[in-house]
């Protein structure tokens, strides 16, 4: 069986096109590896600081509480989502701090308790909001105890000025 010159030409062109594509992917892969190498020092130089997350939680919890107390449901929904996203971020980091599996503690101690708050916001129910929010604060305090830091305790926000941490022993 004889192949026509056209079939051979098309086959060669397809082969060369595939070869060029593979080479382009190889070059991009090399560039990505070089970029990872260039940036990898940042991981050791700038480790994840747990206090940054916790300060963010405190700020968002305070604002969520104030929005709920004012029955500003769109604002409460906004701060609920910010709080949830931040907790999910920490959960994905697989962070352990002083031997405490912080990331694995996020879901049962913050993300799941926030579900009741979300439901109260969706229902625009101030009583359910207050009850579910108190449960979140208690869950945070229980988590601190479980993490060996019982001295970090919070209360329901009072007024409009953070911080809400209890500083008396």
Residue 106 in any domain: the answer is: yes
Q: Are 90 and 103 in contact (CB under 8 A)?
A: yes
In the structure encoding, which two tokens stand for residue 40, read together?
Answer: 């990898």
64 lies in the same domain as 88: yes
Mean pLDDT by 10 residues, the chain (169 residues): 73 82 86 83 68 89 90 94 94 88 92 96 97 95 93 81 57
Q: Which domain holds residue 63?
A: 50-146
Q: How far apart are CA 139 and CA 151, in angstroms?
A: 14
pTM of the model: 0.69
CATH code for the domain in which residue 67 is found:
1.20.120.290
- Quick one: pLDDT at residue 9? 77
How crowded is residue 121: how many other Cβ atoms within 10 Å of its Cβ? 25
12 lies in the same domain as 76: no
Q: DSSP labels for 57-93?
A: HHHHHHHHHHHHHTT-HHHHHHHHHHHHHHHHHHHHT
Residue 168 in any domain: the answer is: no
90 lies in the same domain as 137: yes
């Amino acid at each position: 069986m004889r192949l026509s010159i056209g079939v051979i030409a098309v086959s060669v062109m397809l082969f060369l096109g595939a070869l060029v594509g593979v080479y382009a992917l190889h070059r991009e892969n090399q560039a990505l590896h070089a970029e990872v190498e260039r940036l990898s020092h940042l991981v050791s130089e700038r480790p994840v600081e747990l206090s940054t997350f916790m300060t963010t939680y405190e700020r968002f919890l305070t604002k969520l509480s104030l929005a709920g107390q004012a029955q500003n449901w769109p604002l409460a929904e906004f701060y609920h989502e910010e709080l949830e996203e931040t907790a999910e971020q920490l959960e994905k980091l697989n962070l352990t701090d002083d031997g405490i599996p912080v990331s694995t503690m996020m879901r049962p101690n913050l993300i799941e308790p926030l579900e009741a708050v979300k439901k109260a916001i969706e229902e625009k129910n101030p009583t359910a909001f207050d009850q579910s929010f108190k449960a979140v604060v208690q869950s945070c305090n229980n988590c601190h105890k479980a993490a060996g830091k019982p001295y970090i305790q919070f209360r329901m926000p009072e007024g409009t000025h953070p911080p809400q941490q209890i500083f008396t022993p």
